[in-house]
Structure 1
Amino acid sequence: MIAKAAGSVRIKLILTALATTFVALVVTTVSMLVYDLHSFQQGWVDDLTTQAELVATASAPALSFNDPRAARQNLGLLRVRPQIEAGAIYSASGALFASYVHAPAEVPALPPKPGPLGYAIEGGHMVVTHPIVEEGERIGTVYLSASYRLLDRVQSYALILLGVTLGSLLLAAVVAHRLQQTITPSAAGGDRRGAHRDAAARLFAAGRRAGQRRNRHPDRCLQRHAGRDLAPLERAAGRQPHIGT
């Protein structure tokens, strides 16, 4: 019985430790994943916006002097950033003025007109549209499209977190096993001491009940003991021969 109880305590300790660790890891993992994805997206937005601002500043004179060749050269500098797959400069009327494509076979066609200012995520691409302003007047628009491999980021991050989770659960199981080896002997000893105390209490209660019965019927007890004491004498007297006078 004690061994069975010790085994039950051991299993409960291990399961409790694993469940607590698993819940904590799930909450932490989800929080870290959400934070990382948000930071990843914001980082790309800031980076592309900065690149678009540089291209806009450099290309403003080309638009003012109607120099598409200079605008194309400015866009060609984007080749040092292979993640930026395409770029374009549009005039104030929305007509395509100059363009750049890193790998034409892998990049969608450039839009005929620029979209709304800001950023957008289109499939596996992030698009940033930024105005070209000169002396407070908008004279054109910069369009940049970059590879946005969010799924790859999620997969790599998930593999890392999965490894950390499994390692943490294994460590928690080892720690719980060590703890139960320390706790269950004490619990078993406590069970044995409790069993001894229960047995002593039952014996004490039985003796107390017997004493109460004797106190309630003292005459019966005396008669019973007197009968026990006189019975040997009566048997001896019955065996003695009668002596005539």
Structure 2
Amino acid sequence: MIVFENVVKRYPGGYTALGGVSFEIRHGALAVLSGHSGAGKSTLLKLIAAIERPSSGSVKINGQDISGLRPRAIPYLRRNLGLVLQEHRLLYDRKVFDNVMLPLVITGHPPRDAAKRVAAALERVGLAGREREMPAGLSGGEQQRVAIARAIVNKPSILIADEPTAHLDTAYADEIANLFKSFNSAGVTVLVSTHDERLFAQHNPRRLVLGKGMLLGEAA
């Protein structure tokens, strides 16, 4: 469950990215966050992952207020979170296997089980058997799938994605949207930000609309 209670985020210089945002996303929901460029979508998602901290208000994940979470506790929070950023930040000097393995290495996962998880994650995103390839040899859509595999390899209960289809053509974008829906159907809470109003339309998601840092409401 994700709960924002009157969350404000201000940056140095006085810029207000979020101005008193409140909402609740229940466990197992599929939600889409939309709004114009600069509306605050990326900031909101970074607050969920504790990449950013609110200036005021509270952010609760699965009942835990993470607004003042100590740095050493953040890795434990992120074990339950899968995060896909706009720039997938793959390591281009390492193979696909190593890129997907990275979160498990950080958390000290047993190597043999970790390798099985990597294989399962890659199969889940349609890249089975591609473990030994280098990211530079993959298409943009395939690179995004590697990033998604990396986000789900820890089997998170919450998956958040920031414009995951921004640089993809329509066909690939639809495939990625269907992939996120399949995770949601398996019980994962999914929150995706997007400019594309068409995306996920067939899945009837909950739609939250941001404008100039304010939650404007929900769109049908």
The TM-score, its normalising length taken from structure 2, stands at 0.21
| Bigger proportion of residues as helix | 1
Q: Which has the higher contact order (CA 8 A, sep 6+)?
A: 2
| Bigger proportion of residues as strand | 2
The TM-score, its normalising length taken from structure 1, stands at 0.20
